[in-house]
A and B are shown apart, each in its own frame.
Chain A
Amino acid sequence: MSALIRSMPLLAALLALVLFPQFGSEYYVGLVSRILIVALFALSLDLLIGYTGLVSFGHAAFYGIGGYALAIAFQDASVIPLWQALPLSLAAAAFAALVIGWISIRTSGVYFIMLTLAMAQMFFYFFFESPRYGGDDGIFLFLKPVLMVGSEDILKLDQENNFYYFALSCLVASYLLLLMILRAPFGKVIKAIKANEHRVRALGYSTSGYKLVSFVIAGTLAGLAGFLEGVHSGYINPSYMSWHESGICIAIVVLGGMGTLYGPIVGAFIIILLQNFLPELTEHWQLLFGGIIIAVVLFLPRGATSLYPHLRELIRRPQRGEREPQEAADD
């Protein structure tokens, strides 16, 4: 019962997201769709930096590969069956994550950061310099995937609302999947690895296996986000896997609150909305944007969602008169 009460804000947020297309204009439905995609991308990175303690600076590679797999396989197709395209993107991202992860997890600390960055750059330049896959311009995709049973289309992603609900379902499903993984034995072990990998090894775990599996899961989910982005925007180009994307993704996770599953989603809303509305304020919005990130690092290292308990406390305090000693001690 108390678990239900604790998850009330989350359920309310979900309800709001479900109802949103009934009220929002098409532009805003499209904008929120994009936020949901980015939220999924950030959520996948949170599994690495927030739970496993792996600071991957090349996560955009898998995002891009998810999109490129779709575009390369179906750029000339007359129809894109969802049940073929989606597994293909996921498999491509998973395979890339397996290879990059296998190389990267042999190192740690700053080497891991630089190595993941460099591996992502390798993919970036591969597509950037490959005329076959459109080089700098990337690939345009004129069709959207459809889900068919027999010859009946049951889900067409070319309608904004359909896509919105599809993206929302993907995000919710990934959220629940990660929730389950984190509560399972596997999740306990990766959290312990983040806290103290050496001790986990001394307890008898082969930690590199756990880190690799975590890396592959995260990469696959990032591939799912990239697939959705490819479908949504109708094109894919190398900038999807640029290191700026990886950096922004880290910013989203930290700004929202790493080590929580809702943090990256909140972070995605904040950052994408900032990116959307700051340019209306000033031409030089990146200055403000950078300043905000710096302020977060210096003053709010646990992210926006770490403010929530304080907020609740503030609302509740006047009614209760005085604080219980236990809570005072927690501060």
Chain B
Amino acid sequence: MELSFYLVQLLNAVQYGFLLFLVASGLTLRFGIMGIINLAHGSFYMVGAYLAYWLTDLTGSFWLAILLGLPIALGVGYLVERFAISFLYQRDHLYQVLLTFALILVFNELQQILWGTDVHGVVIPEILAGSIPLTDNQSYPVYRLFISAACIAIACGMYWVIQKTRLGMMIRAGASNREMVQALGIDVNRLFAFVFSLGVALAAFAGMLAAPVDSVYPGMGENVLIISFVVVVIGGTGSIKGTFVGAMLIGLVSTFGKVLLPEMASIMVYALMAIILLWRPHGLFGRAV
């Protein structure tokens, strides 16, 4: 009983870590390649979750909702990049923080206009609704395993793109030395647009995946955003590997923290970050700037 309990927690931690990885990798790539700090990133997580709820309601199918929702989220992301973020590439971080902070206010209000302030749920698709029994009274929901599997598939896909393709080469070059990419004559605008869209797609997809297990509620993007920041800082900005390690660390600490030391759980995540930064001021896999 004891052991299976911990096994369930471990699976939860890994699943949470994977979701964080999806959100945080968009943040870290964007920072590494575009030099942009984007607070509105969490809003795309929220947008994804609400789209999943709304479109599932409309079409009756969670899968169709994902299929229709991703292009919508991408469209919103494109508009945001064109009409707000793209003016900030040359500007100070301060203005990036402020503008994307204002975007959060706008997104939150739009969400309330469109969907109201109620908390919603999304039904788990029938095919994944079951549970796998672990012991007599412990079982594990299939859908959570599906989340992890989907994230692993995406992580592998990302790894392949980044390590094996020409586009990935540009991304790697950009993350390690932004000036170099510009000097090499790569079409920076297109690269930026791609990286931004990739980030939006990952965050929205994470929100869609999470919708059936967490409920869909106003402001849900903000917690994810701040924890994703912690992940990025721990891992080192611009490093996908670091983000992965950071996401898993945070997944473990926060899941087991909630079980073992419930009243300290939220603080432990931040304390962990402070300790890691005292030890390595540029994160685990970050480069000194």
Contact = CB atoms under 8 A, between A and B. Distances in A.
Chains A and B touch (C-beta atoms under 8 A apart): yes
Given A122-B267, A247-B101, A301-B95, A114 B233 contact: yes
A263 B105 CA distance: 23
Nearest to A102: B278
A142 interface: no
A107 B278 CA distance: 9
B112 interface: yes
Contacts of B267: 122, 125-126, 129
A7 interface: no
Contacts of A185: none
Contacts of B264: 129
B277 A250 contact: no
A298 B109 CA distance: 21
Interface in B92-116: 92-95, 97-99, 101-106, 108-110, 112-113
Contact of B109 (A110, A284, A293): A284
Interface in B219-241: 222, 226, 229-230, 232-233, 237
A251 to B, nearest CB: 6
Contact of B94 (A107, A111, A250, A293): A250
A296 to B, nearest CB: 8
A118 B109 contact: no
A129 B92 CA distance: 35
Interface string A275-293: 0000000001011011101
A91 to B, nearest CB: 22
Contacts of B92: 55
B270 A294 contact: no
A294 B102 contact: yes
Contacts of B8: none
A36 B229 CA distance: 33
Interface in A230-255: 243, 247, 250-251, 254
Given A126-B267, A290-B103, A297 B281 contact: no
Nearest to B91: A301
Contacts of A298: 84, 87, 99
Contacts of B271: 122
A250 B101 contact: yes
A182 interface: no
Given A55-B93, A121-B226, A126-B267, A110 B102 contact: no
A57 B278 CA distance: 19
Contact of B98 (A103, A118, A297): A297
B237 A122 contact: no
Interface in B258-277: 263-264, 266-267, 270-271, 273-274, 277
A113 B97 contact: yes
Contacts of B237: 110-111
Contacts of B273: 115, 118
Contacts of A254: 94-95, 98
B99 A297 contact: yes
A92 B267 CA distance: 19
Interface in B15-42: 31, 37, 39
Contacts of A130: 263
A274 B99 CA distance: 18
A250 B102 CA distance: 11
Interface string B126-138: 0000000000000
A39 interface: no
Contact of A251 (B93, B102, B112, B277): B102
A106 B106 contact: no
Nearest to B270: A122
A88 interface: no
Nearest to B228: A114
A250 B281 contact: no
Contacts of A284: 109, 112-113
Nearest to A111: B233
A109 interface: yes
A175 interface: no
Contact of B278 (A103, A129, A293): A103
Interface string B68-103: 000000000000000010011001111101110111
A86 to B, nearest CB: 28
B178 interface: no
B131 to A, nearest CB: 31
Nearest to A246: B101
A128 interface: yes
B266 A111 contact: no
Interface string A114-153: 1101110110011011100000000000000000000000
A63 B98 CA distance: 19
Given A113-B37, A122-B270, A297-B95, 12 more contacts: A103-B274, A106-B278, A111-B283, A114-B229, A243-B226, A251-B102, A284-B112, A290-B103, A290-B105, A293-B105, A294-B84, A298-B87
Query: Which 5 pairs of residues, A with B, have the shortest CB-CB distance?
Result: A290-B105, A293-B102, A125-B266, A122-B270, A290-B106
22 contacts: A107-B277, A107-B281, A107-B282, A109-B93, A111-B277, A114-B230, A114-B232, A115-B274, A118-B229, A118-B230, A118-B273, A126-B267, A129-B266, A130-B263, A250-B98, A254-B94, A286-B109, A287-B105, A287-B109, A290-B102, A294-B102, A297-B95
